[in-house]
Chain A
Amino acid sequence: MKKNLKGKILSITEIAKEIFEIKIESELKEISAGQFFQVLCPPKTMRRPFGAAGFENGVLKGVFKLRGDGTKYLSTLKSGDIVHFTAPLGNGFNIESKKSLLIGAGVGTAPLLYLSDVLNMQGIEKYFIAGFRSKEEEIKGADFAQYGGTILDFVEPYIQKFNPEKIYACAPDIVLKKISEIASKYEIETEVALEKTMACGIGVCKGCVIKVIKNGEIQNATICHDGPVFNASEVVWE
């Protein structure tokens, strides 16, 4: 059940260049890997969405990159400050007992940190690769990190080396599109977590729609409600 919650910041730390990790204690009972939460950033109109980067003992972890006024506001908060947020939002990853390759790029690595924890706990074999623009922007937690260039250069080599049955990816659309093409060539089931500017967070405003193919028909889907996790084969890439 979605809730509008008040949370206390336990810590807020700059873990990489202009990238912050925030830990929030609240009455939130559940949020699964791939689901997201939306934080009120006064005086901004739209709440900022962040994929859950972890959830343990009632403490929600998020990772955000400084982008504009909203994230700038968040970065000025301190331990003990109160934040208002809505959660859990959207649909998370469908976790299956399959050998998994996790592919992240930039701040898209964050939701995969949580997924990686969950897979570990369930004893599902996985390998996690992530790409960053530079070493100082690295979000730590992947098994292999690459700086500069593109993580795409490593997707095929790791598929061949690790032979995964499933891929989970979170990255900019252009990267996800390529990952989806590569995965389809190797016939590997792939789930992607997407991002777009959004307002309501619950599927009513239709501000964050993408096109998907369902039952042979192209139709709209909202990232916030129908996603953010989609089966890569259903997404009509722009």
Chain B
Amino acid sequence: MGIKYFNLLGQDFGKVSFKNPILTASGTFGYATEYSDFFDVSKLGAVVTKAITKAPRAGNDGARIFETSSGMINRIGLENVGVDKFCEVKLKELQENDINFIVNVAGSSPDEYVYVAEKLGNAGVSAIEINVSCPNVKAGCLEFGTDETALGTLVGQIRQAFSGFLVIKLTPNVTRIENLAQAAQNAGADAISAINTLKGVGLKLEFSGKNVRKTLVEGGLSGKCIKPHALSCVKRIKSAVTIPIIGMGGISSLDDVLEFIAVGADLVQIGTENFTNPDISSKIITELEEFMSAHGFKDFNELKEILRDGI
């Protein structure tokens, strides 16, 4: 991701630069090449990979997804190939196809996070996103994301092991997300991304006489319905930190992107909407370019300033 050329949409954060602010969110875009049939994925600001853990994970048994009004609930359980296979196969694919990427990392103990971060750094990965916010696994992960002290310690340990661009992805399932963002910044994070999914229960009841067939999916809620809450979280994080913020939660249009930038995001991630419209990210990049030219913005910083004025 060492792209140093700049167009209207480029942004430089020192360790890494992004050719545009449109990223795709972890878990919704695989390892990028799966979407190559739909558009040239190398045009994305970056792809955030599916979460990688130390050992491969099979994920959860039973029903894993449930559609809600304007969204969906998932309880995948971090199914992934594990860091060794990722480095052998997927990482090469990303590098060979010139795709800008951030590797999402999850773990159940600080040692696991540190192991994976170090291994990825050694393999030449320049940016990682630490998932301390997955609601769908039994041990670790989320517990680091809900306690400021635990988060600070974890981020500090990962910081020692990884010198690249370190993003901490926060959960909205806390009272004061801004305090966690601050703890991450103080411990050496380079950026905050928010939000991961909200806790949700999907329940379908089908009656046959007095018998009820119940389908219950308890997991993380995503999609359009979470956008107002995500905007609130990003706004509060912006008030607490100076490092870049990657905003996400229900983005499905250019207007949504502009709203996230207005409340403090420097970059955005598109998640669930990839399932609804597989080429949405590509469309939004084009629309954003056209929008900036049409309104005469000279660069992305000027757009940010104007959007944030008075908010």
Query: Chain A: residues with CB nearer than 8 A to chain B?
Result: 1-4, 40, 43-47, 84, 86, 197-209, 219-220
Contact = CB atoms under 8 A, between A and B. Distances in A.
B42 to A, nearest CB: 17
A4 B277 contact: yes
A202 B34 contact: yes
Contacts of A202: 30, 34-35, 278
B174 interface: no
Interface stretch (B58-66, B192-200, B235-243): B58-66
Contact of B76 (A44, A45, A207, A219): A207
Contacts of B279: 4
B188 interface: no
Describe B's contact surface by its main secondary structure.
loop
A149 to B, nearest CB: 18
Q: Which of B30, B35, B63 has the most CB atoms of chain A within a 10 A radius of its CB?
A: B30
A37 to B, nearest CB: 13
B74 interface: yes
13 contacts: A2-B38, A4-B279, A45-B72, A45-B272, A46-B65, A197-B66, A200-B28, A200-B275, A202-B35, A204-B30, A204-B34, A205-B27, A219-B58
Contact of B72 (A1, A46, A206): A46
Given A45-B223, A205-B65, A40 B72 contact: no
B290 interface: no
Contacts of A47: 275-276
Q: Which of A43, A44, A201, A207 has the most CB atoms of chain B within a 10 A radius of its CB?
A: A207
Contacts of B70: 43, 45
A203 B79 contact: no
A74 to B, nearest CB: 15
Given A3-B38, A197-B65, 12 more contacts: A2-B37, A4-B279, A45-B68, A46-B72, A46-B276, A199-B65, A200-B28, A204-B50, A205-B27, A206-B59, A207-B74, A220-B58
The 6 closest A-B pairs by CB, nearest first: A204-B30, A207-B65, A2-B37, A199-B275, A206-B79, A200-B275
Interface in B22-74: 27-30, 34-35, 37-38, 50, 58-59, 63-68, 70-72, 74
Contacts, number: 82
B79 A44 contact: no
A198 B76 CA distance: 12
B90 interface: no
Nearest to B279: A4
Nearest to B63: A197
Nearest to B39: A4
Nearest to B62: A238
B173 interface: no
B67 A205 contact: no
Contacts of B29: 204
Contacts of A207: 64-65, 74, 76
A207 B77 CA distance: 10
A45 B58 contact: no
B104 to A, nearest CB: 13
B224 interface: yes
Contact of A205 (B63, B74, B223, B224): B74
Given A199-B275, A205-B65, A45 B71 contact: yes
B37 to A, nearest CB: 4
B28 A3 contact: no
A138 B59 CA distance: 39
Nearest to B74: A207
B153 interface: no
B76 to A, nearest CB: 5
A203 B67 contact: no
A1 B278 CA distance: 14
Contacts of B157: none
A3 B67 contact: no
Interface string B286-306: 000000000000000000000
A73 to B, nearest CB: 13
A45 B227 CA distance: 14
A205 B37 contact: no
B274 interface: yes
